[in-house]
Structure 1
Amino acid sequence: MTASEVINLAIGFLAVMIAIIMFWSLPVPILSSSKNTGLPFLSIVIPARNEGGRLSPLLQSLQEQRFKQFEILVVDDQSTDNTVEIAQSYGANVLKNEGSGKSSACWRGARHAKGSWLLFLDADTAFTNLDGLKNLLNFYQGKGARGIVSLQPYHTVDRLYEHLSVIFNIIVIVGMNVCTIWGARFKTAGSFGPCILCNRDDYLLSGGHKKIEGEIMDDLALGQAFLDHNLPVRCLGGKGIISLRMYPEGLSSLIEGWCKSFAVGSKSTHPVIMLMVIIWIAGSLISTGALISSIIELDTPAIIFSGVLYILYTIQTAWFARRVGNFKWAVFPFYPFLFLFFTGVYVYSFFRVNVLRSVKWKGRKINV
């Protein structure tokens, strides 16, 4: 092996080790056997824009929950499909968004909420356990019912192209600064957006979604608003409690969705963690290049070491992915394509955010 091959392999193996530190754990709310004793009335706010095809599983899962002390407020954000009719068919209270965008819709729902606790849910989520809602509420109560508890739902995929989201899903979670071997040493970057639980008093104290209206990354901004008032923000995984299916409409929707937020959201990640992410991504491409080069040159020692490194990356990527979603094992031997897709979309997102100063989402042009 040449000196450059040895260096590349060393970088690759180092990247694997660094990634273990980077994504050491993903805590989830401890499931509770407690009854509903002492849990207050809850208001569930669901902002919805053209969600007619995705809203039913969430509303159905809410109907099936054993905990029943809640109201459902679906805030229609200028939908042009059957979102309103679907929501009404499940008995939800439908409100019209007075402004435009998710933050405005959430604020509208919070203002009309009757509950002392507020749960903001994206329309593409669904509870996967009949006691999922109760367990989430009991966990929040056990933490003193202060600040925010946010969950990143377990990502369910159906079609092959949806697996292209896997690296994004991993880095979204890692980028919140709470999954390293050091635990809570780094301040959280904000909150996860699809599932946010808080109490009304803390929400109003922070300024709520009214304060962050216009922010592209409303979840990060809301979490920061709570942190600015010394209110705790806890970010956990949602496996066994809540799931979501992202971008079932097709590949273009998937690209548009990740492009909308990724370059902006990455700015909230701690520099140390961002460096580890970069090393992990670079290591994936280096390991692939090392294997291809060794095969071309018929260098047996290099083929053995680079082959071992490639297998390690395959296993590690699959291990991380299965923490965050039900991604199929068969795709991970082709992990270089997943990393290349992530890199391409990130560069495109960076260009749109920093050069064009605008992104697109659900038919709207959003200025950055």
Structure 2
Amino acid sequence: MTALEVINLAIGFVAVVIGFIMFWSLPIPVFSSRPKVALPFLSIIIPARNEEGRITPLLQSLQEQSFSQFEILVVDDDSSDNTTAVARSYGAKVLQNTGAGKSSACWHGAEQAKGSWLLFLDADTRFTSVDGLSNLLHFYQRKGAKGITALQPFHTVERLYEHISVVFNIIVVVGMNLFTIWGSWFKTAGSFGPCILCNRDDYFLSGGHQKIEGAIMDDLALGEAFLEQDLPVHCLGGKGIISLRMYPEGVGSLIEGWCKSFAVGSKSTHSVVMLMVILWISGSFIASGALISSITEWNPAAMLFSGILYILYTIQTAWFASRVGNFRWAVFPFYPILFLFFVGIYLYSFIRVNIFHSVSWKGRKIKV
């Protein structure tokens, strides 16, 4: 092998190690066997815009929960479909958003809420067990019932094209700064967005969604608002508790959804974590490039080491993916396609945000 080939392979193997440092673990709420104390009344707030086809699993899962001391407020954000009719059919109280956008809808719901605790849920989430909600609430209580406890739902995929989101799902978690080998040594980038639990007093003390209205990454901004008031923000994985299916409408919706937020959200990632992400992604291309080059030149030694590196990246990416979703292992031998898609959409998002200063989402053009 040439010196350049050796250097490239060495960088690739270092990138694998960096990957483990970058995404050391994704804790989930730990449930105690100690006797559980009474929980306060809860308000579940679901902002919804044209969610007719996605909100039903969530509402069904809420009906099945062992804990039932809650109200459901679906805040309709100018839907043009049957979202409100579906919500009412499951006993939810429907509110009409007085403004426009998710933050405005969440704020309006919080103002009308009766509960001591507030749970903000995206319409495409669902609880995966009858005790999921109860376990989440008791975990929050044991944490002192202060600030935010936010879960990143376990991503459920059903169709093949949905697997191209896998690298995004990994980076969304890693980009929160909390899941490296150093744990919470870095300051959190904010909060996960699809499932946010907080108490009413802390929410209004922070300014809530009213303070962050207009923010593209409302979840990160809300977490920052809580941190500014010295309120804790706990971010964990939702595996076994809550799941979501992202962009079932097709590839177009998937691209639009990730483009909407990714370049903006990456600005909140700590520079050290971002550097590790860049090195890990670069290593994935080094591994695949080295394997292709060794086969083309029919270099047995290079084929051996580049093959080992490629297999390591395949296994590592699949392992990371298993923490965040039910992605099929059969797709990961083709992992370069997944990384290429990620880089392409990230660049597209960067251009839309930094040059055109606008993104599109659900029929709205959003200025950034």
Scaled by the length of structure 1, what TM-score is found?
A: 0.99
Distance apart, 1:31 and its partner CA: 2.6
What is the letter of the counterpart of residue 139 of structure 2?
F
1:116 is matched with which residue? Answer: 116
1:225 is matched with which residue? Answer: 225
User: 5 Å matches for 1:140-179?
Assistant: 140-179=140-179
Contact kept? 1:32, 1:135, Cα under 8 Å = no
1:43 is matched with which residue? Answer: 43
1:298 is matched with which residue? Answer: 298
Identify if the C-alpha distance between structure 1 residues 337 and 323 changes in structure 2 by more than 3 Å, giving closer, same or farther. same
Identify if the C-alpha distance between structure 1 residues 291 and 301 changes in structure 2 by more than 3 Å, giving closer, same or farther. same
1:11 is matched with which residue? Answer: 11
Once the two structures are superposed, what CA deviation does each residue of 1:301-323 show, in whole Å capped at 9, x if it has no partner? 00000000000000000000000
1:191 is matched with which residue? Answer: 191
2:94 is matched with which residue? Answer: 94
State how far apart, in whole Å, the 2-side matches of 1:254 and 1:280 are: 23
Distance apart, 1:34 and its partner CA: 5.5
Any gaps of 5 or more consecutive residues in structure 1?
A: none
Secondary structure of 1:46's partner?
A: strand
Secondary structure of 2:188's partner?
A: coil
Contact kept? 1:36, 1:67, Cα under 8 Å = no
1:279 is matched with which residue? Answer: 279
State how far apart, in whole Å, the 1-side matches of 2:129 and 2:12 are: 40
Once the two structures are superposed, what CA deviation does each residue of 1:136-188 show, in whole Å capped at 9, x if it has no partner? 00000000000000000000000000000000000000000010010010000
Once the two structures are superposed, what CA deviation does each residue of 1:22-42 show, in whole Å capped at 9, x if it has no partner? 000001001344565221000
Identify if the C-alpha distance between structure 1 residues 82 and 32 changes in structure 2 by more than 3 Å, giving closer, same or farther. farther
Alignment RMSD (CA, Å): 0.7
State how far apart, in whole Å, the 2-side matches of 1:234 and 1:97 are: 28
Once the two structures are superposed, what CA deviation does each residue of 1:16-62 show, in whole Å capped at 9, x if it has no partner? 00000000000100134456522100000000000000000000000
1:347 is matched with which residue? Answer: 347
User: Percent identical across equivalent pairs?
Assistant: 76
State how far apart, in whole Å, the 2-side matches of 1:32 and 1:98 are: 41
State how far apart, in whole Å, the 1-side matches of 2:205 and 2:239 are: 30
State how far apart, in whole Å, the 1-side matches of 2:178 and 2:338 are: 24
State how far apart, in whole Å, the 2-side matches of 1:35 and 1:325 are: 31
Contact kept? 1:73, 1:94, Cα under 8 Å = yes
Once the two structures are superposed, what CA deviation does each residue of 1:272-313 show, in whole Å capped at 9, x if it has no partner? 000000000000001110000000111100000000000000
What is the letter of the counterpart of residue 180 of structure 2?
T
Any gaps of 5 or more consecutive residues in structure 2?
A: none
After TM superposition, where is structure 1 displaced by more than 3 Å over at least 4 residues in a row? 32-36
User: 5 Å matches for 1:36-75?
Assistant: 37-75=37-75
State how far apart, in whole Å, the 1-side matches of 2:264 and 2:82 are: 32
State how far apart, in whole Å, the 2-side matches of 1:82 and 1:33 are: 42
Scaled by the length of structure 2, what TM-score is found?
A: 0.99
2:333 is matched with which residue? Answer: 333
Secondary structure of 2:157's partner?
A: coil
